[in-house]
Chains A and B, each alone.
Chain A
Amino acid sequence: MSPAGRSLRRTLALSGKELRHIVRDPRTLYLALGMPVVMLFIFGYAVTFDLDRLPLGVLDADRSPESRELVRAFESSGVFQRAWDLSNAAEEAEGHFHRGRIQGALVISPGFGRELGAGREGQVQFLLDGTDGVTAAIALGYAGAIAKAYQLRLLSRLSLELAPPLDARVRLRYNPEARSTIFIVPGLIALILALMMVLLTSLSVAREWERGSLEQLFATPAKRLQILIGKLLPYVALGMLQVLLVLALGTLLFQVPVRGSLLWLLGTALVFISGCVGQGLLISVLTRNQQLATQVAAITALLPTVLLSGFIFPIENMPWPLQALSTIVPARYFISALRGIMLKGNGPAEIWPQLAALLTFALVMLAAANARFQRRLD
């Protein structure tokens, strides 16, 4: 047999064996294919960041046409729901907050309409239950936008020179209904891949160190690269399967769009997966121990992807040290590229910086793992 044929046979023998492990131990498969589904459902249905009819207490001490219009603007936004009319006592709002009857309160001071009419500032107070920081932040954003729209409408009416009136409705581009599922799915793909790929590969190699089967394998003429590629290939395929699964479910169940090219999406995912698999390999080569590998994988893959990738917490709002740290989190680039491709229809012209970052990460990880993966026991 030719050397090339023999090399291919070795790689395939390893991949075939690895595939058998995966098939024999259904837990891996359940985890790999079940977790994306479960997470998609949790994020898609249960944990929604969309605000839907947040109960609002309203104290309109002014009762002028202007104040009533502002209250109406809040009501008609679809985000807030007028749940309680408060009388003048501020403690009353406090009590409602405590009992969880309202999550926000709009307090309009007396003289609001008069002040506005005279061209001065009208006083409005907006109180929010900050217990749930994410919800509060989103609600605050909406409240600000509603107030601004109201202000502009008012302005255009007051100063006739400014006609035609500005249409200052808040409109979210690319995601007109501000549905968080659409925003979440790209992040979810990154999270699932980062977690599963790093964990599964690091475990699979660490297991072989522990059981001594790598020693047996090292005693054969199989080359380092053949062993590495053979072992990693099935996990890369599994990762691609996960991407397709989440995409299919996201599209079918949550109408998540893929506006850009599917091919570029899958290509970007492939680069990201290669980096994750390389990271997993590096971890297992360094730890040679399943338990330690799991911990290191959780700390280096799961945590940064949840916290520092922009998946849930916007990177722009982070203090600068965390922003700096996020630049070495590959999921950051992957999520940004995915959102671009899926929601904005971006192509290579727009996503090349992210793609370059992901490629760099993959190359660094694979090269480091390859360098540390000695076919010796010492």
Chain B
Amino acid sequence: MGPEAVIEVAGLTRRFGSFTAVQQVSFSVRAGEIFGFLGANGAGKSTTIRILCGLLAPSEGHACVAGIDVARDPEAVKRSIGYMSQKFSLYLDLTAEENLEFFGGAYGLGRRALRQRGRELLARVGLRERSAEITGRLPGGMRQRLALAAAMLHRPRILFLDEPTSGVDPRARQSFWALIREAAREGVTVFVTTHAMDEAEFCDRIGLMADGRLRALDTPDGLKRSFLPGEMFHLELSPDRSIDALASQPGVLRIESAGAAYRLRVEAGRFDPEKLRALLGPAAVRVERVEPDLEDVFLEVVTQARGEAVP
């Protein structure tokens, strides 16, 4: 093990009535890591985050954040974390600066310290020029960066960001991720949920959630290696042609259709583009070797999870 674990979760379970939203989840996050929590809507990501922030009590299991048991002393946890909830929850009728002033006050910062820290953060998230603007008039990307600044006012060691880039355009997403990486470089541990697979590539490690269970946990490359052994090809066929000719070939592991295109996974070293072209004949419009992405991993994981669920 490298540096100390700042988040340790063991057998975490949360039920709402008879429904189990999070089931027997265990993992740990090291200091300074960017830890991504991936999963479809309803997978249990927000519920897990809320438990870790001391906002929800776990039904079963343990969670330690910054060395503190969240079930036993949620208030102590709140002092060392910053939280950005999934729903934008700063006040739209206050200015950017006033929002920071308010949350700084809620964290108990003194006036002088708060003013200085507020100015510093506004500059850092690129809002210095617009600090006097009413938050409701700021574009979505800026609002999210302001919410991040609010969560960082008290210099927390750990940041919990729940889908911080949902509903934000790609450029604004990039600038948001730049801020996340900057925080991590300074030693802040970032726990971030998303359902955008491309973003997950930026994470040091990823936990994959499906139906309340943690299905996989590794670095992006590790996930690809263990769930997607072999090589991947991207195929495009002319519209009326079928891919059946390939399906029976030895060494073909999986064919996933994506509209008119296919993602083909095969055992390593058994195929190359020329061979595939030859096999498909005139039906092949395009054949190229691709790197597997996390979308592929996610599909594979969910498929395997479904397979297990069916007796």
Contact = CB atoms under 8 A, between A and B. Distances in A.
Contacts of A221: 75, 78-79, 106-108
20 contacts: A9-B110, A10-B105, A10-B108, A13-B105, A14-B106, A16-B102, A20-B94, A212-B87, A212-B88, A213-B89, A215-B87, A215-B89, A217-B106, A219-B53, A219-B54, A219-B81, A220-B103, A221-B75, A221-B106, A222-B107
A12 interface: yes
B83 interface: yes
Given A219-B85, A221-B75, A377-B50, A24 B108 contact: no
A21 B92 CA distance: 10
Interface string A1-17: 10001110110111011
B83 A378 contact: no
A1 B78 contact: no
B104 interface: yes
A374 to B, nearest CB: 10
B69 interface: no
Contact of A1 (B53, B81, B85, B110): B110
Interface string B100-138: 011111111111000000000000000000000000000
B85 A212 contact: yes
B302 interface: no
B74 to A, nearest CB: 8
Interface centre among A7, A10, A12, A219 (most CB of B within 10 A): A219
Contacts, number: 90
Interface of A: 1, 5-7, 9-10, 12-14, 16-17, 20-21, 24-25, 211-213, 215-222, 376-378
A9 B103 CA distance: 11
Nearest to B49: A219
Nearest to A21: B93
Nearest to B99: A17
B90 interface: yes
B83 A219 contact: yes
B110 A377 contact: no
Contact of A24 (B54, B93, B110): B93
Interface of B: 16, 50, 53-57, 74-75, 78-79, 81, 83, 85, 87-91, 93-94, 98, 101-111, 150
Contacts of A222: 106-108
Contacts of B98: 17, 20
Contacts of A20: 93-94, 98
Given A13-B101, A17-B105, A215-B87, 20 more contacts: A7-B108, A12-B105, A13-B102, A16-B102, A16-B105, A17-B91, A17-B98, A20-B98, A21-B94, A24-B93, A212-B85, A212-B89, A219-B85, A220-B78, A220-B106, A221-B75, A222-B106, A376-B55, A377-B50, A377-B56
B246 to A, nearest CB: 49
B87 A211 contact: yes
Contacts of B108: 1, 6-7, 9-10, 221-222
Given A211-B87, A377-B55, A220 B93 contact: no
A211 B135 CA distance: 14
A13 B89 contact: no
A9 B94 contact: no
Contacts of B150: 216
B61 to A, nearest CB: 16
A293 to B, nearest CB: 19
Contacts of A10: 105-106, 108
A377 B46 CA distance: 12
A168 to B, nearest CB: 64
A17 B94 contact: yes
B163 to A, nearest CB: 13
Contacts of A17: 91, 94, 98, 102, 105
Contacts of B90: 213, 216
A113 B253 CA distance: 121
B54 to A, nearest CB: 8
A342 B102 CA distance: 41
